[in-house]
Amino acid sequence: MRLGAVIITMGTRPEELGALLDSVAKQDGAPIECVVVFQGAEPTALPEGVRAVQLPENLGIPGGRNVGIEAFGEHGQDVDVLLFLDDDGLLPRQDTGELIRAAFAEDAELGIVSFRIADPDTGATQRRHVPRLRAADPLRSSRVTTFLGGANAVRTKVFAEVGDLPAEFWYAHEETDLAWRALDAGWHIDYRADMVLHHPTMPPSRHATYHHNVARNRVWLARRNLPAPLIPLYLGIWFALTVLRKPSAAALKAWLGGFKEGWSTPCGPRRPMKWRTVWRLTRLGRPPVI
C-alpha cells in the first residue's frame, strides 16, 4: 500500500511545516512520499526527498490540493492513498501511516478516511471537527458522510472514478462535494478517532471570505449534487439555521451576498446523486437536507 502526502502552504509557517514533515518522516513502515505545494510563495528549504511545487498564485485550497494530486501522476495514480494535511498540523503518533494502510487494505470499498483533529495543548476535539451530526463523543469512530479537508486520506481510485476537488469552490464545502460524489459511486467514508492530527484550535471565521464562501458554496453544492426536489429543502433549512444563529450584521450581509452569488454564477457540472444515495446518507444519520 503506497502512501503519499499533499501539503499546501502559503509559505508563512516554515517552522510548523518543518515539524509536520518531520512527523510524516517518522511514520512506521515504508516511507511516505511528500509533495508541498507553495501557493504564490517562494519555496522554503525542505528535507531531502520532499518535492516542492511552486504556483505563481494562490489557487485556493481545493485548487492547490488538485495540483498536489497531479504531482503523483494522473489522479494520483503513482500511489494508492494520498494524505492531505494542513501545514500547521502534526501527526503525534508514529503508527498513523500503518493504521491507514491497514484500513484501506482490509476494506476494498473504503474510499476516504477522516482523522480526528485534536488541540496539541489540551487534546480536545472541537465538535465541528467530528464529521457527523452526533458529535458529542469524538473518540467514537464511525461511518460518516463527509470528511475534514486538512486531515484525511483518500484512495486515489476515488479521484480516478469521480474526479478531483472542485477548484472553483476556493474554500469551504469542497470536501462534502467530493464526499457526496464518492458515496454516490459506492465508496465508504470512515471517521477514525485513532488517527490523530494535532492542530491548534482556531475559529473557521478567521478566513476573510468565510461567511461569503460558506453560503455561495453551499448553493453550488446543492445545485451540483442534489436531486431537484431536495435543493429548495436543503437550502431553505440552512437559510433558516443561519438566521436563527443570529450572526453579526456584517457576517449576515456577507452570507446573503454569497447565497445570491451561488444562484447567479456557474456551479460547474451538475451530476445529481441517485435516490438510493439519498437513502444511504439518511441511514448513515445525515440526510442531504441538513
**Residue 152 resides in a domain:** yes
Considering the domain architecture, whether residues 113 and 232 belong to the same structural domain is answered as: no
Considering the domain architecture, whether residues 112 and 80 belong to the same structural domain is answered as: yes
Considering the domain architecture, whether residues 183 and 216 belong to the same structural domain is answered as: no
Helix intervals (H) in the chain: 14-25, 60-70, 96-106, 156-162, 174-184, 210-225, 230-244, 249-264, 275-283
- Torsion on CA atoms 48, 54, 60, 63, rounded to nearest 10: -90
Tell me how long the chain is.
290
Considering the domain architecture, whether residues 55 and 146 belong to the same structural domain is answered as: yes
Is the pLDDT at 277 greater than 60? The verdict is yes
Q: Which pLDDT score, from 0 to 100, does residue 207 have? A: 54
**Residue 289 resides in a domain:** no
**Residue 120 resides in a domain:** yes
Number of domains in the chain: 2
What's the CA gap between 101 and 31, in Å, rounded? 12
DSSP-derived pairing of the beta strands 81-85 and 3-9:
parallel
- State pTM to two decimals: 0.96
Q: What is the pLDDT of residues 143-174, one digit of tens each?
A: 999 999 999 999 999 999 999 999 999 999 99
What's the CA gap between 50 and 48, in Å, rounded? 6
What's the CA gap between 67 and 105, in Å, rounded? 26
Q: If DSSP codes are grouped into helix, strand and coil, which group holds residue 5? A: strand
Number of other residues whose CB lies within 10 A of the CB of residue 1: 16
**What domain range is 234 assigned to?**
206-283
CA distances to 136, 209, 219 from 234, in Å: 24, 22, 9
What's the CA gap between 167 and 267, in Å, rounded? 11
**Residue 253 resides in a domain:** yes
Considering the domain architecture, whether residues 36 and 107 belong to the same structural domain is answered as: yes
Q: What is the pLDDT of residues 205-221, one digit of tens each?
A: 555 589 999 999 999 99
* Of the residues 156, 186, 202, the one at which a domain ends: 202
* Of the residues 202, 232, 261, the one at which a domain ends: 202
Burial string for 2-38 (b: 16+ CB within 10 Å, else e) reads ebbbbbbbebeeeebbebbbebbeebebeebbbbbbb
Q: Which grid cell is 100?
A: 491507514
Considering the domain architecture, whether residues 221 and 157 belong to the same structural domain is answered as: no
**Residue 290 resides in a domain:** no
Considering the domain architecture, whether residues 11 and 103 belong to the same structural domain is answered as: yes
Burial environment of residue 153 by CB neighbours within 10 A (0 to 12, 13 to 18, 19 or more): buried
Considering the domain architecture, whether residues 194 and 212 belong to the same structural domain is answered as: no
Considering the domain architecture, whether residues 197 and 234 belong to the same structural domain is answered as: no
**Residue 288 resides in a domain:** no
Which of these, 99, 118, 87, lies nearest to 18 by C-alpha position? 87
Would you place residue 39 in the very low, low, confident or very high pLDDT band (cuts 50, 70, 90)? Answer: very high
Considering the domain architecture, whether residues 131 and 175 belong to the same structural domain is answered as: yes
* Of the residues 180, 202, 224, the one at which a domain ends: 202
Q: What is the pLDDT of residues 112-141, one digit of tens each?
A: 999 999 999 999 999 999 999 999 999 999
CA atoms within 13 Å, Cβ hemisphere of 48: 0
Looking at residue 26, which CATH number applies to its domain? 3.90.550.10
Q: If DSSP codes are grouped into helix, strand and coil, which group holds residue 55? A: strand
Considering the domain architecture, whether residues 176 and 69 belong to the same structural domain is answered as: yes
Is the pLDDT at 203 greater than 90? The verdict is no
**Residue 90 resides in a domain:** yes
**Residue 36 resides in a domain:** yes
Calculate mean pLDDT across residues 43-52. 96
Q: What share of the chain is helix, strand, coil (3-state, %, to 5)?
A: 40, 20, 40
Considering the domain architecture, whether residues 111 and 187 belong to the same structural domain is answered as: yes
- Torsion on CA atoms 235, 239, 244, 249, rounded to nearest 10: 150
